[in-house]
Chains A and B, each alone.
Chain A
Amino acid sequence: DQQVKQNSPSLSVQEGRISILNCDYTNSMFDYFLWYKKYPAEGPTFLISISSIKDKNEDGRFTVFLNKSAKHLSLHIVPSQPGDSAVYFCAASSTNTGNQFYFGTGTSLTVIP
């Protein structure tokens, strides 16, 4: 039973435009969310996080939005660059799940030069 879902397996965007990656979750107790980026043959690397007390968090070109009522978060990348081409995973956790992060299935982003 997938508690964190990324329904778009892939996304293609032109360089310079906005990339929007979406993530939905089913467990209303989740209160901490992270995005990871993964290049081929490498492990995931942390990108940005947000806790449930916020609805937005920014870090340079990356912004994460959280809509708790819809159980939905999104990652915006502006402007998109070819080096952003990677697989993006969202992950969620809560005090109830303790040390366990639940990961989505990932979205493969391709930024076209």
Chain B
Amino acid sequence: NAGVTQTPKFRVLKTGQSMTLLCAQDMNHEYMYWYRQDPGMGLRLIHYSVGEGTTAKGEVPDGYNVSRLKKQNFLLGLESAAPSQTSVYFCASSTGVFEKLFFGSGTQLSVL
């Protein structure tokens, strides 16, 4: 059972480039989340989805867009990458609100 899978694991971008991070879960979870982890900041919620076709903003949504076209997939897009978006990105899923999160292994993104 794969759980939550994130691709790619590493990526280097130049300022202004765009990219999409893919998250896939095989647990039939309704809720999916994108977090970023920065030194000294903990994990901060970027966007989340409570079901297929829905998305909502989290704590730090600026500069990111998301889509949940299929229940098992949650995409995070950066339209014009900035050095401030250098971070480790984690996708997570859960069965519902207040339920424990299942995390992917993360994507290390560097924006030069």
Q: Which of A's residues lie within 8 Å of B, judged by CB?
A: 2, 4, 32, 34, 36, 41-46, 49, 89, 91, 93, 98-106
Contacts and interface: CB of A to CB of B under 8 A. Distances in A.
B59 A93 contact: no
Interface of B: 4, 31, 33, 35, 40-45, 48, 50, 56, 58-59, 90, 92, 97-98, 100-106
A66 to B, nearest CB: 15
A98 to B, nearest CB: 7
B98 A100 contact: no
Contacts of B56: 99
Contacts, number: 55
Name the residue among A32, A42, A43 with the largest chain B CB count within 10 angstroms.
A43
Name the residue among B48, B58, B101 with the largest chain A CB count within 10 angstroms.
B101
A9 B79 CA distance: 34
22 contacts: A34-B100, A41-B105, A43-B103, A43-B105, A43-B106, A44-B101, A44-B103, A45-B103, A46-B100, A46-B102, A49-B100, A89-B42, A89-B43, A93-B98, A98-B97, A99-B50, A103-B42, A103-B43, A103-B44, A104-B42, A105-B40, A106-B42
Contacts of A32: 98
B59 A100 contact: yes
Name the residue among A4, A45, A93 with the largest chain B CB count within 10 angstroms.
A45
Contacts of A105: 40-42
